[in-house]
Amino acid sequence: MSIRQLVRFDDKILRKISRPVEKFDERLWSLLDDMLETLRDSGGFGMAAPHIGILRRVILVDDTVKTELVNPVITAKSEATQRVFEGSIAPGAPWGFVVRPQKVTVEARDRLGNPVTQTAEGFLAATFCHEIDHLDGILFTEKSDEIVSDTKEIDRILTQSAKQRRRR
3-state secondary structure of 3: coil
Neighbours of 66 (CB within 10 A): 12
Contact between 33 and 1 (Cβ < 8 Å): yes
Return all residues near 113 (Cβ < 8 A) that are at least 6 apart: 24, 70
Rounded-to-integer distance, Cα 112 and Cα 107, Å? 15
Q: What is the DSSP letter of 19?
A: B
Catalytic positions, written as ranges: 131
